[in-house]
């Protein structure tokens, strides 16, 4: 009974996020992760990130460092102002859907040789996370090894 109620609550919160406009998700619909207290994501993405972190910790002996997750509309605009074309226009970022994280220690712009990045490329997909193809070497977007997404188009 309790498990069924938890599943129903998870589904309700995921649906609430899907129904909310980009950057305007109610805080009550988002979920955190135990290993990074400031992270807020769509609840299924948060659960998958928790599982991914267990595997990452087993391999590297430390937790994933998350520098950014959900961004409301004002935060998206501020990041765009600060980073220019390296950030999506406000209202279009997957951060505003609670489906993206930026990870610490994954390299600089265009740097894809860090062990953390290579490990994630090999393992993150098993947990539903991926590095968007347009951000990979030779892709059309900014070559950001730190940006990872859940349940989005590759």
Q: Taking Cα atoms as reference points, which of 17, 55, 153, 33 lies closest to residue 101?
A: 33
Burial 12-42 (b: 16+ CB within 10 A, else e): ebbebbeebebbebeeebbbbbebbeebbbb
Task: Please state, for a pLDDT cut of 90, what percent of the chain lies above it.
Answer: 95
Residue 144 burial class via C-beta count within 10 angstroms: exposed 0-12, middle 13-18, buried 19 and up: buried
| 24 vs 16: CA distance, rounded Å | 11
What CATH number is given to the structural domain containing 23? 3.30.1380.10
Which range marks the domain in which residue 144 is found? 2-150
146 has a pLDDT exceeding 80: yes
- Interacting residues of 61 by C-beta distance below 8 A, sequence separation 6+: none
Number of domains in the chain: 1
pLDDT at 34: 97
The model's pLDDT over 100-141, given as tens digits with 9 standing for 90+, comes to: 999 999 999 999 999 999 999 999 999 999 999 999 999 999
Q: What is the pLDDT of residues 27-40, one digit of tens each?
A: 999 999 999 999 99
Q: What pLDDT score does 1 carry?
A: 87
């Amino acid at each position: 009974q309790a498990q069924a109620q938890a599943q129903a609550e998870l589904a309700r919160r995921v649906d609430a996020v899907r129904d909310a406009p980009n950057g305007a998700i109610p805080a009550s619909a988002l979920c955190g992760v135990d290993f990074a207290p400031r992270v807020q994501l769509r609840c299924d993405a948060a659960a998958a990130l928790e599982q991914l972190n267990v595997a990452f910790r087993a391999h590297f002996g430390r937790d994933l460092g998350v520098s950014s997750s959900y961004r409301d509309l004002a935060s998206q605009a501020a990041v765009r102002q600060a980073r220019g074309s390296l950030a999506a226009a406000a209202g279009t970022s997957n951060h505003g859907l609670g489906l993206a994280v930026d990870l610490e220690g994954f390299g600089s712009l265009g740097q894809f040789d860090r062990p953390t990045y290579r490990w994630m490329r090999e393992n993150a997909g098993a947990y539903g996370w991926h590095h968007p193809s347009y951000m990979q070497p030779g892709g059309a977007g900014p070559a950001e090894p730190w940006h990872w997404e859940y349940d989005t188009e590759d």
